Chain A
Amino acid sequence: MAKKTAVSFTLNGSTVDVLVEPRELLIHTLRDKLAHTGPHIGCETTHCGACTVDLDGQSVKSCTILTVQCEETQVLTIEGFAKGGQLHALQEGFMQEHGLQCGFCTPGMITRAYRLLQEIPDPTEEEIRYWMAGNLCRCTGYQNIIKAIQYAARKLRGEVVETSHPLMAEVSL
């Protein structure tokens, strides 16, 4: 068995230390060793985006990077979004705009959209479509995902936002 290496990085604000083989992919470390099962595996070939995390301010498909490359980095996964019982605007947006069905792509989608809104706070639909093209969804048809990101963008800019679905009922979390 290959020799293991100790790696430390910051995961959603907390330092983690983990022993891994040099060939181990970040997605497997996150899911199997660090119990962060929010990022999912849809392809392991960098096509689907279900495993997207934010690494030092960049969207990274965690099936594409070795854990040993993550030494002293800052990793943000979906588990780091809601703070103090408060959903992130993107999480709220996906729920309000029905931007998900099976939910399998959702953690990767939200993580990627987060990076988009960091870079472009007021994206056009074309920009959203371009930025999100590395994240596949088999259920939603993308239209509501785009609306969810627009919802979050407006909310983060301090605008009053209403959902485009006439919802009668609030869901308590």
Chain B
Amino acid sequence: MNEITPDLSRLERLEGIGCSRKRREDPRFIQGRGTYVDDIHLPGMLFGVMVRSPYAHARIISIDTSKAKAHPGVHAVLTAEDLKPLKLHWMPTLAGDVQAVLADGKVVFQNQEVAFVVADDRYVAADAAELVEVEYEELPAIVDPHKAMDADATVIREDLAGKDVGAHGARRHANHIFNWQIGDKDRTDRAFENAAVTVKQDMLYPRVHPCPLETCGCVASYDAIRGDLTVWITSQAPHVVRTVVGLLSSIPESKIRIVSPDIGGGFGNKVGVYPGYVTAIVASIVLGRPVKWIESRNENLTTTAFARDYWMTGELAADTDGRIKAMRVNVLADHGAFDACADPTKWPAGMFHVCTGSYDIPNAHVSVDGVYTNKFPGGVSYRCSFRVTEAVYIIERMIDVLAQKLGIDKAEIRLRNFITKDKFPYHSALGLDYDSGDYEPALRKVMKAVDYDGLRAEQAAKRADPNCPTLMGIGITTFTEIVGAGPSKSCDILGIGMFDSCEIRVHPDGSAIARMGTISQGQGHQTTYAQIIASEAGIAASLINVEEGDTSTAPYGLGTYGSRSTPVAGAAIARASHKIREKARKIAAHLLEVSPDDMEFDLDQFRVKGDPARAKTMKEIAWAAYNNVPEGMEMGLEAVDYYDPPNFTFPFGAYLTVLDIQKRTGEIKVRRFYALDDCGTRINPMIIEGQIHGGLTEGFAVAFGQELPYDEQGNVLGGTLMDYFLPTTMETPHWETDFTVTPSPHHPIGAKGVAESPHVGSIPCFSNAVVDAFAHLGVTHTGMPHNSYRTWQQLRALNIAG
């Protein structure tokens, strides 16, 4: 960080950390000049379309592609049989499982990929896809994960027959994937036996979909003469894709270029590798022409990367004052037909073990079982870091359940159980080391801002009035996130540590280029990254060009998801900037003929201590770096940093919402939502606020409308935007934002990451408010989504609805 009190006018010119700098990426987007994957047109490009299974579970008797192949304009029709000689009919998943690229012998979920048709354009490809004749023999489908574990349940994954050990240890059943346990079971059980009060609650976190507005897709282009493969792809982790493509295709990584251009939202949906990418690449290699594959919305919603689907049972043990003694959690996780979860390899249930939340819970034990069902695979961390959403949901619901049982106010019970400031760094019962936090002032600030006591008084008055047409609910969450994956000692993807990288080159004129291993999907990296460099290296942000997403130019990095860009890549930027600054210090000292120790950094220049008139600006230093450096020093001014964080970061927040439920109809109106976030050092407040708005809106959607239901045969009932709820301007509430700042002690600039907090924190806040509206009637939980119909049923059950 800077050594001297800054001169504000120069600081403003630098557009550094803390300023609401306008976004560099906006001019192209507002003029329709972004470059998303589907905008890429190459000469001779063909278009690929998937033929998909209508059944959730069926044996493939035969596939006849002859009519499709004979259709004018068709260049290839690929099936598993065509991929077999290339050993590409199955691919590894991020979770240590394998997934059929094109169905091999049988299909295990509806809309599974069966054949890939490549034709002159999307219309011809769609016509020809209709001509592929597949004969199926339907098998019973398993849609309920509990039934998947019945002794006589149909075996979904015949390819795993006889394998009683999976990637994460023993399997108990043909449809069992893993059991993952963490915490001290015996101590936790004893604490429960001795506790004055215990509570227990079942809850389902339904299957939802991240649903970015742009679907997934790619353009693969193989140059047979050069032997080069270029793939433009909607990927949140382009470098890992390069490694995977290299491993699968046997083309050396040096000959593969993966480009993630502009991406129309990711939210976890664009982390994995999907069959369409593989088939497009194969088709391009086979045909020697570029091949484009772009998903339809229906394909996106029904085949790529669901999230959640956690059947959870939570238990808390406490004394009569509400001080929590222990937590027990059991989860049955429905992973669909292939375990394709985007979790760090070492943790089959991701970072779910942050489920003790913001509270000082001395004993805890968690057990998660993953099972196969006939549903599409994925299990991605949708706008959260590897299952944090589920973790925060269960603790924030459970603490309300406990408060209700004890008759303690929901804010008060939180204040009694918070990990206090003096306990940081805090070692949790489930083995995490929370870096920093200051929870109480955050909650108190929110309570004051919304007049919490006033709201509770209003609620009490409404409860006392039988003629009041509405029920009023107040929801609180005080959550702790875990982001910044992550330390390579605990996180990797397919064996590659989850570090991130930054390379900065300062040009002779003092402007610079920074290349990154991350990739923005709307987070505004080009803007904020330059702000970090501005503050840390003294180069005005407007002179810095940030490039991402091209594996041919950027250093290897693990990409953007799980709010890891600022905590990991942001740290790499700061450290690369510091390397630049240290070299600049030596050059400045050389130019002024003093010792480097006598130089001090002042925003955008180095000056002689005690003689501020003698100074060299970064601009002058940059020029000198190319013509006049100290003897023995390498020319140039550049630095690269691969940052492997020592720990995760733990942003937190306190959210409060007030809603009114129409007794007659079950309609819910969110009256107020107040979100206070603490993400440590704030780089660009405007962008942070925007991310919070977005995360809250996605949280609102999950809480009140989203789910991917299935019927008994395994048909997805939410496959279009007609059925799958994305909120519009009409439903979306007004958001109020606030903040406190508790920097991370181990991050070079103290930043923690923010974009997922609002999603993670708001969903239980909404649920808590809905349940709170019914709490005086003895209701302890109602399932999501809290749509009007479900709420109306609840009202009917309680004899309230008209």
Taking CB atoms, residues of chain B closer than 8 Å to A167 are 19-22, 686
A37 CB to nearest B CB, Å: 4
Is B521 an interface residue when CB atoms closer than 8 A count as contact? yes
Q: How many A-B residue pairs have CB under 8 A?
A: 209
0/1 interface trace, chain A 91-133, chain B, CB 8 Å (1 if under): 1001110101111111100100000000000000000111011
Is A6 an interface residue when CB atoms closer than 8 A count as contact? no
Cβ–Cβ contact B123 & A141, under 8 A = no
Taking CB atoms, residues of chain A closer than 8 Å to B728 are 132-136, 142
Cβ–Cβ contact B41 & A32, under 8 A = yes
Partner of B20, one of A78, A130, A137, A166: A166
What CA separation (Å) do A44 and B262 show in the bound complex? 20
Is B720 an interface residue when CB atoms closer than 8 A count as contact? yes
Is A87 an interface residue when CB atoms closer than 8 A count as contact? yes
Cβ–Cβ contact A144 & B693, under 8 A = yes
A102-B262, A102-B263, A143-B734 known; A137 and B30 CB under 8 Å? no
Cβ–Cβ contact A103 & B522, under 8 A = yes
Cβ–Cβ contact A42 & B214, under 8 A = yes
Cβ–Cβ contact A38 & B33, under 8 A = yes
CB-contacts of A64-99 with B (<8 A):
77-79, 81-82, 87, 91, 94-96, 98
Cβ–Cβ contact B27 & A141, under 8 A = no
Interface size class of B (residues with CB under 8 A): 35 or more
Taking CB atoms, residues of chain A closer than 8 Å to B689 are 98
CB-contacts of B684-705 with A (<8 A):
686-687, 689-698
A146 CB to nearest B CB, Å: 7
Is B626 an interface residue when CB atoms closer than 8 A count as contact? no
Partner of B265, one of A24, A47, A104, A165: A104
0/1 interface trace, chain A 135-173, chain B, CB 8 Å (1 if under): 111111111111000000000000000000111111111
Cβ–Cβ contact A100 & B30, under 8 A = yes
Cβ–Cβ contact A45 & B722, under 8 A = yes
0/1 interface trace, chain B 206-220, chain A, CB 8 Å (1 if under): 000001111100000
CB-contacts of B524-561 with A (<8 A):
524, 541-542
What CA separation (Å) do A110 and B33 show in the bound complex? 14
Partner of B26, one of A24, A38, A39, A171: A171
Is A48 an interface residue when CB atoms closer than 8 A count as contact? yes
Cβ–Cβ contact B36 & A104, under 8 A = yes
A58 CB to nearest B CB, Å: 19
Is B726 an interface residue when CB atoms closer than 8 A count as contact? yes
Is A43 an interface residue when CB atoms closer than 8 A count as contact? yes
B14 CB to nearest A CB, Å: 9
Cβ–Cβ contact B686 & A38, under 8 A = no
Residue picked from A37, A50, A107, most chain B C-beta under 10 Å: A37
Taking CB atoms, residues of chain A closer than 8 Å to B735 are 141, 143
B544 CB to nearest A CB, Å: 12
What CA separation (Å) do A79 and B28 show in the bound complex? 11
Prevailing SS type, chain B contact patch: loop
B374 CB to nearest A CB, Å: 26
Is A40 an interface residue when CB atoms closer than 8 A count as contact? yes
Is A26 an interface residue when CB atoms closer than 8 A count as contact? no
Cβ–Cβ contact A95 & B123, under 8 A = no
What CA separation (Å) do A49 and B735 show in the bound complex? 23
Taking CB atoms, residues of chain A closer than 8 Å to B722 are 45, 47
Cβ–Cβ contact B212 & A168, under 8 A = no
0/1 interface trace, chain A 16-36, chain B, CB 8 Å (1 if under): 000001011000100110011
What CA separation (Å) do A116 and B211 show in the bound complex? 27
Closest to B121 in A: A32
Is B297 an interface residue when CB atoms closer than 8 A count as contact? yes
B543 CB to nearest A CB, Å: 12
Cβ–Cβ contact B12 & A169, under 8 A = yes
Partner of B22, one of A50, A95, A130, A133: A95
Cβ–Cβ contact B27 & A171, under 8 A = yes
A42-B214, A134-B728, A139-B265 known; A169 and B32 CB under 8 Å? no
What CA separation (Å) do A109 and B407 show in the bound complex? 48
A102-B262, A103-B25, A169-B541 known; A77 and B690 CB under 8 Å? no
What CA separation (Å) do A143 and B28 show in the bound complex? 21
Cβ–Cβ contact B32 & A37, under 8 A = yes
Partner of B31, one of A31, A38, A139: A38
Cβ–Cβ contact B297 & A98, under 8 A = no
0/1 interface trace, chain B 65-91, chain A, CB 8 Å (1 if under): 000000011000000000000000000
- Chain A residues with a Cβ closer than 8 Å to the other chain, count: 68
Closest to B264 in A: A104
Is A60 an interface residue when CB atoms closer than 8 A count as contact? no
Closest to A143 in B: B693
Is A41 an interface residue when CB atoms closer than 8 A count as contact? yes
Cβ–Cβ contact B297 & A142, under 8 A = no
Residue picked from B522, B541, B686, B690, most chain A C-beta under 10 Å: B690
A37-B39, A40-B264 known; A45 and B721 CB under 8 Å? yes
Closest to A146 in B: B729
Taking CB atoms, residues of chain A closer than 8 Å to B29 are 100, 102-103, 106
0/1 interface trace, chain B 118-130, chain A, CB 8 Å (1 if under): 0001111000000
Cβ–Cβ contact B31 & A168, under 8 A = no
Taking CB atoms, residues of chain A closer than 8 Å to B33 are 38
Cβ–Cβ contact A1 & B31, under 8 A = no
Cβ–Cβ contact B32 & A101, under 8 A = no
Cβ–Cβ contact A44 & B297, under 8 A = yes
A78-B31, A91-B30, A138-B698 known; A133 and B690 CB under 8 Å? no
B158 CB to nearest A CB, Å: 36
Cβ–Cβ contact A42 & B297, under 8 A = yes
Cβ–Cβ contact B213 & A42, under 8 A = yes
Partner of A169, one of B21, B294, B693, B734: B21
Is B439 an interface residue when CB atoms closer than 8 A count as contact? no
What CA separation (Å) do A166 and B212 show in the bound complex? 29
Taking CB atoms, residues of chain B closer than 8 Å to A48 are 213, 297, 721, 726
A2 CB to nearest B CB, Å: 8
Partner of A1, one of B21, B25, B72: B72
Cβ–Cβ contact A94 & B26, under 8 A = yes
Taking CB atoms, residues of chain B closer than 8 Å to A169 are 12, 15, 19, 21-22, 541-542
A91 CB to nearest B CB, Å: 4
Residues of B within 8 A of A (CB): 12, 15, 19-36, 38-39, 41, 72-73, 121-124, 211-215, 262-265, 267, 294, 296-297, 521-524, 541-542, 686-687, 689-698, 720-722, 726, 728-730, 732, 734-735
A-B contact pairs, 10 of them (CB 8 A): A43-B721, A47-B720, A81-B31, A91-B31, A102-B262, A102-B265, A138-B726, A142-B732, A168-B12, A169-B22
Known: A37-B32, A138-B726, A169-B15. 6 other contacts (CB 8 A): A98-B687, A102-B264, A104-B212, A133-B730, A169-B22, A172-B542
Q: Which 10 A-B pairs have the closest CB atoms?
A: A38-B32, A103-B29, A141-B693, A104-B264, A102-B522, A101-B522, A78-B32, A47-B721, A141-B697, A37-B39
